[in-house]
Amino acid sequence: MIQKEPLVSVIVPVYNQEKFIGRCLRSLLHQTIPHENYEIIVINDGSTDRTPYALELFHNAIHPITNATNIGLPASINKGIMAAKSQYIVRVDSDDYVNLNFLNFLHFYLDQNQYADAVACDYLLVNDKEELIERANCIDQPIACGIMFRKQQLIDIGMYDETFRCHEDQDLRIRFEKKYSICRLELPLYRYRRHENNITNNVEAMEHHRQNIIRKHGSNSGQ
């Protein structure tokens, strides 16, 4: 029997997230589309905690990629994109989780609307106990994840700039929207977790890469 290609490829980069990666993967494994219709590509970027053990618990359900050393988030995501077998790509961060209709609704939107280059869903901001903080509009308050792209268009714009260790998503979005557009699905299908280890808490690193965004794209892009 010939195995068909998946409809969607989920890219999950992970670095030292032993506490949250299990929750993330469980949410992805309990989707309303059949398991054979999507693949979960997890890139372990040289984790030094018990993340490898956590991933081993899911070894039958994921496609793991292991970096011998930490190469950074954008380079890891690019590895996942190139390994993806489907034409649709969506990134989910390892400390976040999703609604059970996440893949189904985003894929259906893109599949039925050929004019749409990419689609983002609204999200719920939660704390590390999964308590609701607020609902957010994905266009007014964009985040890196919960956006389904067409793989070929990501390749066309050069994928992620691997020199950005922070704001890699902002750089990608600026380049993407010069040629393509991102539609909004007004459903909060993504759960964005705020906790003490968020990379956005590293003020110095975030400011360094914000300046890189300004140098690359101009003064209005670093807001």
- Domain, as residue range, for 99: 8-222
Please report the pLDDT score of residue 217 as a whole number: 74
In a domain, 42, yes or no: yes
Measured N-to-C along each axis, helices 168-177 and 73-83 cross at an angle, to the nearest 10 degrees, of 50
The CATH number of whichever domain residue 94 belongs to comes to: 3.90.550.10
In a domain, 1, yes or no: no
In a domain, 198, yes or no: yes
In a domain, 3, yes or no: no
* Total tally of structural domains belonging to the chain: 1
Residues contacting residue 56 through CB under 8 Å, at least 6 positions apart: none
Cβ atoms of residues 142 and 173 within 8 Å? yes
| Encoded tokens for 55 | 């991933």
Scored b (16 or more CB within 10 A) or e, 162-186 reads eebbbbbbbbbbbbbeeebebbebe
Please report the pLDDT score of residue 86 as a whole number: 97
Cβ atoms of residues 86 and 7 within 8 Å? yes
In a domain, 69, yes or no: yes
From first to last of its 223 residues, the chain has per-residue pLDDT tens of 566 899 999 999 999 999 999 999 999 999 999 999 999 999 999 999 999 999 999 999 999 999 999 999 999 999 999 999 999 999 999 999 999 999 999 999 999 999 999 999 999 999 989 999 999 999 999 999 999 999 999 999 999 999 988 889 999 999 999 999 999 999 999 999 997 665 554 566 556 555 665 666 775 655 5
Cβ atoms of residues 150 and 118 within 8 Å? yes
Q: pTM (2 decimals)?
A: 0.89
Q: DSSP per residue over 130-144, as a string?
A: --EEEEE-TTTS--S
In a domain, 59, yes or no: yes
In a domain, 70, yes or no: yes
For 103, the enclosing helix (H) or strand (E) is helix 102-112
In a domain, 107, yes or no: yes
Please report the pLDDT score of residue 165 as a whole number: 81
